[in-house]
Amino acid sequence: MNEGVNKKKTESGRFGRKAGIGLTLGAGALIAGGQYVAPNIAPASANPMSSDNLVDPEWESAVRKHFQKRFFNLIDATDTQKSQLDDLFKKKGEANRQTREDVKAAAVQVAKLMADDSATDDQIRAKVHEIRKLRQQLQDDRLETALKVRAILTKEQRQIVSDRVVGLITGNQRRFLLRSMN
């Protein structure tokens, strides 16, 4: 019984002394080493916003690869399917990059118009209407891409994707898991 009391006295804080030291050292390393991890990143206010940096191609590629890995694992894609889908996603991403940049630039303009006392309601409405048209173009292209993906997938893979989408829409992720158990 005394061992438990003595052990409790040597611990400090909620997680114990060792954990506290580890957290302190980790936080210190992050703070001190932050300049070495990302030395070329300038503050957001360092240069004016331009269309060149509204869509980062490297970030876009990383997100696409992450999505593809999860998607390919979900549907258990063949090597041929992986190659076909990768080519399709890459081409569509590049083809739509300018439209996505235009949407972001227009959204920035709307935000600036909202703050501008000289901007009229009609100017703001017109800019928002422009954004809607651009987003509609993106949506139409996404539909065409989805139809091309559908043509590449097997019936079983399409069912897996369908179950996953329905689960996301309804908030019932278990539906996907229950179906796969049958």
44 C-beta neighbours (distance < 10 Å), count = 8
Same domain, 104 and 15: no
**Sign of the Cα pseudo-torsion (166, 170, 171, 175, in order):** negative
Position 127 in a domain:
yes
Parent domain of 124: 49-181
Same domain, 11 and 57: no
Q: What is the pLDDT of residue 61?
A: 80
Distance CA 164, CA 161 (A): 5
Same domain, 59 and 25: no
pLDDT digits 0-9 by tens, 126-146:
999 999 999 999 999 999 999
In terms of C-beta density within 10 A (0-12 exposed, 13-18 middle, 19 or more buried), how is residue 169 classed?
Answer: exposed
Q: Which two tokens stand for residue 94?
A: 């590049």
Please give the model's pTM, rounded to 2 decimal places.
0.60
Domain count within the chain: 2
Distance CA 26, CA 124 (A): 47
Same domain, 14 and 65: no
Q: What is the pLDDT of residue 33?
A: 40
Same domain, 61 and 18: no
Question: 3-state SS string over the chain?
Answer: CHHHHHHHHHCCCCCCHHHHHHHHHHHHHHHHHHHHHCCCCCCHHHCCCCHHHCCCHHHHHHHHHHHHHHHHHHHCCCHHHHHHHHHHHHHHHHHHHHHHHHHHHHHHHHHHHHHCCCCCHHHHHHHHHHHHHHHHHHHHHHHHHHHHHHHHCCHHHHHHHHHHHHHHHHCCCHHHHHHHHC
Position 43 in a domain:
no
pLDDT digits 0-9 by tens, 26-51:
434 333 343 333 333 344 444 444 44
Position 42 in a domain:
no
Same domain, 54 and 130: yes
Q: What is the pLDDT of residue 39?
A: 38
Position 134 in a domain:
yes
Same domain, 60 and 142: yes
Same domain, 77 and 11: no
Same domain, 107 and 138: yes
Length of the chain: 182
Q: What is the pLDDT of residue 103?
A: 95
Low-confidence ranges of the chain (pLDDT < 50): 7-15, 17-51, 182
Start-to-end Cα distance in the chain: 52
